[in-house]
Amino acid sequence: MAVAPIFDLSGRTALVTVASSGIGARFARILAASGANVVVAARRADRLAALCSEIESAGGRAIAVSLDVADEASTIAAYDAAEKAFGTVDTIIANAGVNSEGLVTDIPADEFDQTVAVNLRGVFLTVREGARRLIAAGSAQKENGRVIITASITADVVSPGLGVYSATKAGVIQFGKVMAREWVRKGINVNMICPGYIKTELTADWFESEGGAQQVAAFNRRRLMQESDLDVPLLFLSSDAARGVTGTTMTIDDGQSF
């Protein structure tokens, strides 16, 4: 496991989308290390199997489910598999995100559609299905529902070349606030995390380029964030300690955005 448990999530079941690499895989490891049953979901089943083996070898409990977040039937099937293994998913980590780079005049319409399908529709389908099941299982009385949506600092920072990605991340923040308000009496808390720039599989090529190095040099602390910087915010928002926190956006960016 990556760290010793910080918050006790024993008895919780968390579903993490796009858990095959990057911060999604990190989230799965940290949640499992803190006692949660973890359902790792993505399209790359081979990577999910390896992650489950790693978690189980360290004493955690995990299953892998194949999930295309933009497909409703796939989403329903993923939750069915999660419930069969662990019961109702009470902690939903909507972490799906694909990038779309290019000036607005150069972005093909099909690329726009794909980005919106994963980043916005995917969050909608993942969170809606989980919330429906939580409500049916009595979340209004238990007050155990936790939804954490991964957004981005680009939702607020004007980033030429990232117009579609930025728009979808701004969209999920507002969507999350609306869902938080709709479910405020249903025992489901919905919060958003806005990470800064982290070197992951998605961004590695850029940050190893001359342009990426220049971008990092322009940050106030002249460095990238670490994946571990998100550990405590994730665990806090997933835990009983966050019972009074909903509709909130947490920016964790090492001062990159100001």
Q: Kindly tell me the sign of the dihedral angle through the C-alpha atoms of 102, 43, 200, 149.
A: positive
249, burial (CB in 10 Å: exposed 0-12, middle 13-18, buried 19+): middle
Q: What pLDDT is stored for residue 3 in this prediction?
A: 53
> Across the chain, which distance is largest between two alpha carbons, in Å?
54
For 28, other C-beta atoms within 10 Å of its C-beta total: 30
Per-residue pLDDT at 6: 64
**Which residues of the chain register pLDDT less than 50?**
4-5
Residue 69 CB partners (closer than 8 Å, separation 6+): 17, 18, 41, 75, 96, 118, 121, 122, 123, 125, 126
79 is catalytic: no
Distance CA(39)–CA(89), nearest Å, equals: 9
Q: What is the pLDDT of residue 30?
A: 97
What do you get for the CA distance between the two ends of the chain, in Å?
A: 33
pLDDT digits (tens, 9 = 90+) for 110-147: 999 999 999 999 999 999 999 999 999 999 999 999 99
Give the pLDDT score at 200.
86
Q: What is the pTM of this model?
A: 0.94
Strand partners, 52: none
**CATH superfamily to which 13-199+227-252 belongs:** NAD(P)-binding Rossmann-like Domain (3.40.50.720)
From the candidates 165, 175, 183, 197, which is the catalytic residue? 165
Quick one: pLDDT at residue 237? 98
